[in-house]
Chains A and B, each alone.
Chain A
């Protein structure tokens, strides 16, 4: 187990470092000179230079990078040069909205993904099979934003069942909160769920071919038990990993979904920050998005290892 983790750790670390570097470079890549932004449009070259020194922008990049990482690690996320507000505050204000969305979507994704997958996994032939296959493929092929827009057109415009934009925190008003949450969450979850379903289904089909399933049959084990303790048990790993990866995608998908459904989440913050060149905010959001994605993935791998004795015990 430990050995397994040790093996995985480097790639995780690498991932984090790369992300940090990219995030750190973002303002410098896009924003031009932060000092200029602070100084404002009608500042003299001297003022700008002064500010540059005061902000430590004149020092070599590696030094600045090290310092920045240090700050972020110690929870100082910096200050937006555009709105002069601490980034932590800006993000904090939006976190809730995105969490509500992401959590709901993830829950939906897992439930629907596993549900569909197992359903497809146990219906091997006939019309229902074809139906499931079709459904999964279609969902698979349509990304969140398209799904979202279609949902809006159907439930928001044609039938006017749901409010299409805006939001209310579920904690303030559960009923209305969810009425705002339901469509974006579904939009986010559906494609990912389909992905999981497809993988689980494929894996189950694969496991069914394994000889130990035949052996179980030869033992006289009833089908339901074979499904549970042999087929499903051996397909679990796939499901876990799949979910792990997908959660990252949900976070990313939130960007577009929030824009479409006009939710004031981190995604929206990221977008508005980019168009207003507020890169100090963008960089932190990017950093967080990736870090979370990576960590979740890593976690899922640990879980996988825990599930599989071959990895758990040695390897």
Chain B
């Protein structure tokens, strides 16, 4: 690896809890970061990646302590350094960027104050600090810093706040910056902005970055080196290129393969990783991954593999008995036959679900003086779903996709438009209509932890649903068991309470509940976004299977284009309460006709190492405007890469609101829909 090492972590072990029964969260973690490089630390929840960062900062939560190993920054050991020494280092020699920009800034202090604080506590004079703060704001691309420096965090958008947080990290030009999931809380387009900023800064200031993330895509696009963590251990370590090319640890490989790829083949079954991410308090013996590993052998169950170079690929190290013995990671035992579901899937002719010019308004609450005008969270959305078909609904948070879906099942009251379910107008949503909707349309929720009542057993939860279907009590037990098997859960679990299940399993139960009433349409609202990457595939597969087996129609809502693309036959893209593009998945992903779609796609990080990809991306500037007062004309024009921003002469975008147009099946709402495709092309290699 590179010669001069800035940060070196050796056999770091961290424990929590009492000395009697300590909870070990890090096991002999070792890695180096060379100057000027970006190290990615990937892992799922509970893998210990954040804990690693915190121990480097010397900011372990209460009760946490380093019980072994060493951390040395530029040759200076940080472990056991007195607090005041550490304090001098923090912010000066190592800086940190936090996950949630909303929470990371003190709401009652101006951003300027907060940046200056970082400087003054390290001995800079107030005047210099202010000057420096302005400079920093400029550096992180905050427009008009002079006036914004005295504003408060709540006056900044999410992306802007994250820039401020980064500015604080840069303040004392610390050689090492630790970024803990810096983009997880942000939307794709904003994420792209921030990632690009990091790349630029790195290029400009040569800062060294430790990037902690769960997103292989981010790693692939941003990092030079990567360590993969699992169950508090480093399981694989090496250069990004090598690892993505030929992962040497079964976990890494499985993880990469189980991710639906925006470029990959659609509709094929994903090779899912069985089981759930381990809970640090109950790590399996031996290799923590063995219960989920297809290659697991006896030795894996007994002894913990050491992290050491793989004979045939010395540049990367992996902690796997098998790989080390075999010299390289052997291929997995043959996958279960990959059925190409696309074949033999036929859609009904009459739409089962039909939305016409749907409008849902929020706000409009009485105030003392004036009644504030309603604003449309959903503003004239039309959509059709045919039996057996899967329609993906994509968009960033706040674009109104969830509102649409909930309106369909009558949770959000309509303020305009029509809903037809199986040809029958249910807009009124009177009892009869409701009943009709109930048994035709069901819903799968996003958060598997919130969607099951903790006080009811699975049996109770399912029978409640069956009761609605009108199944006599006697038959319910049998049906419950059938449902459990349908979603691949042991019938023996029926008596348990939700808390006994992992996220993936809960999501399955959620699906089973939805299916209990034998609906014909299933609305899935971000069903996998709350799940660990390694679990998502399980759920996606189950949805696919059930869809095909029961001929369900799916309305699949997600922000992750890859996932949507994987499942959908048709895709609709929403922006600011409108559908901006709609059409067959293939076409849209191949030749988007709306710049927003194009931008979304190019913003989505791909888990394929691609140096310089950042440079070619079309990254949208700014933030989505406030839906309360959407821009005139085309709602997207304020961020559009081909709109008036770059082509001032294109007044039309400002003046007239483009309608969905195009040949029958693929339509987009853009005056210059032709150029979008080209935009997308540029992004591709």
Does a CB–CB distance below 8 Å link A and B in the complex?
yes
* A residues neighboring B (CB under 8 Å): 6-7, 9-10, 210-212, 214-222, 225, 229-230, 233-234, 307-310, 313
* B107 and A309 form a contact (CB under 8 A): yes
Q: Do B57 and A218 have beta carbons less than 8 Å apart?
A: yes
Interface residue B334 (Cβ < 8 Å from any Cβ of A):
no
In the complex, how many angstroms separate the beta carbon of A240 from the nearest chain B beta carbon? 13
Chain B: minimal CB distance from A195 (Å): 24
Q: List 6 A-B contacts (CB under 8 A).
A: A211-B98, A218-B98, A219-B95, A220-B122, A230-B106, A308-B107
Q: Which partner residue on chain A sits nearest B178 by CB separation?
A: A218
The residues of B that contact A220 with a CB separation of less than 8 Å are: 87-92, 118, 121-122
CA distance A313 to B107 in the complex (A): 12
State whether A225 touches B121 (Cβ < 8 A): yes
Given contacts A220-B122, A310-B152, contact A211 B59 (CB under 8 A): no
Query: Measured between alpha carbons, how far is A53 from B360 in the docked complex, in Å?
Result: 60
- Can you add 13 more A-B contacts, CB < 8 Å, to A211-B104, A309-B107? A6-B368, A7-B368, A210-B103, A218-B91, A218-B95, A218-B96, A220-B90, A221-B87, A222-B121, A230-B106, A234-B107, A307-B108, A310-B152
Q: Which chain A residue lies CB-closest to B87?
A: A220
Contact with A along B504-539 (1 / 0, CB 8 A): 000000000000000000000000000000000000
* Chain A interface SS verdict (over half): helix
Contact (Cβ within 8 A) B152 A313: yes
Determine whether the beta carbon of B108 is less than 8 Å from that of A219.
Answer: no
Residue on A nearest B94 in the bound complex, by CB:
A218
A221 partner residues in chain B, CB cutoff 8 A: 87, 91, 117-118, 121
Q: Mark B71-90, 1 if CB is under 8 A from A, else 0.
A: 00000000000000001111
Residues of chain A lying within 8 A (CB to CB) of residue B165: 215
Contacting residues, chain B, for A218 (C-beta < 8 A): 57, 59, 90-91, 95-96, 98
Which residues on the B side are within 8 Å of A225 (C-beta)? 121
**A221 to B114 CA separation, bound complex (whole angstroms):** 11
B100 at the interface (CB under 8 A from A): yes
Assess the B367–A7 pair: CB atoms within 8 A. Answer: yes
3 closest cross-chain pairs (CB), A and B: A220-B91, A220-B90, A211-B103
Taking A220-B92, A309-B154 as contacts, is the C-beta distance between A215 and B121 under 8 angstroms? no
B105 interface residue, CB < 8 Å from A? yes
Give the chain A neighbours of B96 by CB distance below 8 A: 214-215, 218
Given known A211-B98, A310-B152, A313-B152, contact A219–B168 (CB-CB < 8 A): yes
Contacts of A309 in B (CB 8 A): 107-108, 152, 154
Known contacts: A211-B98, A308-B108, A310-B154. The answer to whether A10 contacts B368 by CB under 8 A is yes
Smallest CB gap from A236: residue in B = B108
Residue B155 CB within 8 A of the other chain? yes
CB neighbours (8 Å) of B87 from chain A are 220-222
Count of CB-CB pairs between chains A and B under 8 Å? 87
Give the nearest-CB partner of A307 in chain B: B108
Closest to B93 in A: A220
- Is B109 at the interface (CB under 8 A from chain A)? yes
Q: Is the CB of A212 within 8 A of B104?
A: yes
In whole angstroms, what is the CA distance A233 to B110 when docked? 13
Q: A15 CB to closest chain B CB, in angstroms? A: 15
CB pair B105 A215 closer than 8 Å: yes
Which residues of A have CB within 8 Å of B367?
6-7
Residue from A211, A222, A233 in contact with B108 in the complex, judged by beta carbons closer than 8 Å? A233
Q: In the complex, what distance in Å separates the CA atom of A218 from the CA atom of B171?
A: 12
CB neighbours (8 Å) of B473 from chain A are: none
Determine whether the beta carbon of B100 is less than 8 Å from that of A211. Answer: yes
Given the interface pairs A219-B91, A220-B121, the reply to whether A234 lies near B59 with Cβ below 8 Å is no
A234 in contact with B108 (CB, 8 Å): yes
Q: Chain A residues near B88: list those with CB within 8 A.
A: 220
Q: Is B369 an interface residue (CB 8 A)?
A: yes
For the complex, give the distance between the alpha carbons of A233 and B367 in Å. 31
**C-alpha gap A222/B91 in the complex (Å):** 12
B370 nearest CB across to chain A (Å) = 10
- Least distance between B572 CB and chain A CB atoms (Å): 34
Query: Which of A212, A218, A234 is packed against the most chain B CB atoms within 10 Å?
Result: A218
- Chain A residues near B121 (CB-CB < 8 A): 219-222, 225
